[in-house]
Structure 1
Amino acid sequence: MKRFPVRSTLAALTLLAALPFAASAAEGVSYTYVEGGYAATNLDGGADADGWTIGGSGAIAPNFHVFGSYTGQEVDGFATPFGRANGYDVDQWRLGLGYNHELNSQVDLLTRVAYEKFESDAFSVGNEFFAGEDVDGWSVEAGVRAALTPNFEGYALAGYEDYDHGIDGEFYGRLGAQVKFNQTWGISGDVKFVDSDTQYFIGPRVSF
């Protein structure tokens, strides 16, 4: 993203406990789960970062669910025309509400809105010092989620996110999938494509 490394939107947020409600959803698709794993961000012509994410979702009504996540990453040191920038930490929280509507027995329409928060540590480039950032924002995304086979599901979403402090809003795309070992355990992955960076997540998921 253009604002990275000073103003990055790294994937991240607040872990939610799974809630004991069942959503009206396509067969084999659960909106109550917890997951965690490896997160990384690759920037076009800039620094890269990696770390970890933990998050979850809970069905609260037949067609509604809440979701959240936290991501912590460390930006690698990188060279600039003005000297080498030191590495620093970034954190992002996300908390939102989703609406899922069954289109057929395998496919759901999915719409989500979320509060976003991004924080970064101060860092230096050569002898210059740059203060960290603490910004709030929001995002909205919509698309489809489908149980493609009994052991594999995927989703495709288009979204828009915006932050305060004069940071320009940006459109993004998100693709994700889960390989299911059984009704409870699986491995999930997510890729978010923004203007000048790509964000990844992969890790185990426990569905309820």
Structure 2
Amino acid sequence: MRKIFLASTLLLAAPLTALADDGMSYTYVEGGWNRLQLDAGGAGDVTADGGYVRGSFAVAPQFHVIVGASRVSGSEHAGAARVKTTLDVPYLGVGYHAPISDGLDFTSEFAWNHRSAKSDYRVDDARFRETSRFNEVLGMVGVRNRFTETLEGWLKGGYANGGDGQDARWYGVVGGQVSFTDTWGVVLEGQFDKDVSEYRVGVRASF
């Protein structure tokens, strides 16, 4: 009886093991450089640089939790006037993935972030600050593919709704990772919508 029970348990666990061991880890931490470019129309383009950290943690064979944060800042000068703007974005979400074929996964994410911006103005000896903040809810679907043992890539499409008078937006994400060991790799990623482009270059440790 015990042997039958053990055999049944192993057979039931086998599909879950296959899903978890697909060659692409959903548990990792990474961090690096972040650039945001805003097309401000007649006011010109705005560029801000900074950094980001994020992590993904598998909590079940097909589910993972995503956390992260980024900060970018940029300065503009016009005569005696100077303005420095800083944008902070913490991020929290949950993801789902399922195999489509060998080395190819369907992925989806549902997440929340809080965008907080502050602009410090200086005109001669006068100084003042403006702040703004709002929450966004995001949904995203895509695919993640392992091309070789050391190269993988992903392509995603998403929708973000900010509420509080903010325009909803569609956006796309394209990225990839080059792995040097089973743990360490370099990640390059771009995120694009109508008015904003965001680029990331980071180092990832997968577990």
TM-score for the superposition, normalised by structure 1 = 0.82
What amino acid is aligned across from residue 53 of structure 1 in structure 2? Y
Structure 2 Cα separation of the partners of residues 170 and 186 of structure 1: 31
Structure 2 Cα separation of the partners of residues 75 and 136 of structure 1: 22
Q: Deviations over 1:87-127 (max 9, x none)?
A: 12110011000000001111000010001110011344868
Q: Which residue of structure 2 aligns with residue 6 of structure 1?
A: none
What amino acid is aligned across from residue 135 of structure 2 in structure 1? D
Q: Deviations over 1:122-171 (max 9, x none)?
A: 34486896621121111000010010111000000000111132101100
What amino acid is aligned across from residue 43 of structure 1 in structure 2? L
Farther off after superposition, 115-124 or 140-149: 115-124
Given the alignment of the two structures, is residue 32 of structure 1 paired with residue 27 of structure 2, yes or no?
yes
SS at match of 2:147: strand
Q: What is the aligned-residue RMSD (CA, Å)?
A: 2.2
User: Could you tell me how far 1:23 is from its partner in structure 2?
Assistant: 8.8
Q: Deviations over 1:20-55 (max 9, x none)?
A: xx8925732110000000000122332100000011
**Bigger RCO of structures 1 and 2 (CA < 8 A, at least 6 apart):** 1
User: Could you tell me how far 1:78 is from its partner in structure 2?
Assistant: 5.0
Q: Which residue of structure 2 aligns with residue 134 of structure 1?
A: 133
Structure 1 Cα separation of the partners of residues 61 and 118 of structure 2: 41
Q: Superposed, which structure 2 residues align to 1:109-148 within 5 Å?
A: 109-124=106-121, 131-148=130-147
User: What is the aligned counterpart of 1:99 among 83, 96, 101?
Assistant: 96
User: Could you tell me how far 1:85 is from its partner in structure 2?
Assistant: 5.1
Structure 2 Cα separation of the partners of residues 173 and 23 of structure 1: 30
> Structure 1 residues 62 and 23, CA, compared in 2 at 3 Å: closer, same or farther?
farther
Pair member with larger Rg? 2
Given the alignment of the two structures, is residue 89 of structure 1 paired with residue 82 of structure 2, yes or no?
no
Which ranges in structure 1 are unaligned for 5 or more consecutive residues?
1-21
* Higher helix fraction (1 or 2): 2
Q: Superposed, which structure 2 residues align to 1:53-92 within 5 Å?
A: 53-77=52-76, 79=78, 84=81, 86-92=83-89
User: Could you tell me how far 1:76 is from its partner in structure 2?
Assistant: 2.4
TM-score for the superposition, normalised by structure 2 = 0.82
What amino acid is aligned across from residue 42 of structure 1 in structure 2? Q
SS at match of 1:131: strand
* Higher strand fraction (1 or 2): 2
User: 1:75, 1:90 within 8 Å by CA — same for their partners in 2?
Assistant: no
SS at match of 1:27: coil
What amino acid is aligned across from residue 144 of structure 1 in structure 2? V
Q: How many residues align?
A: 185
User: Could you tell me how far 1:189 is from its partner in structure 2?
Assistant: 1.4
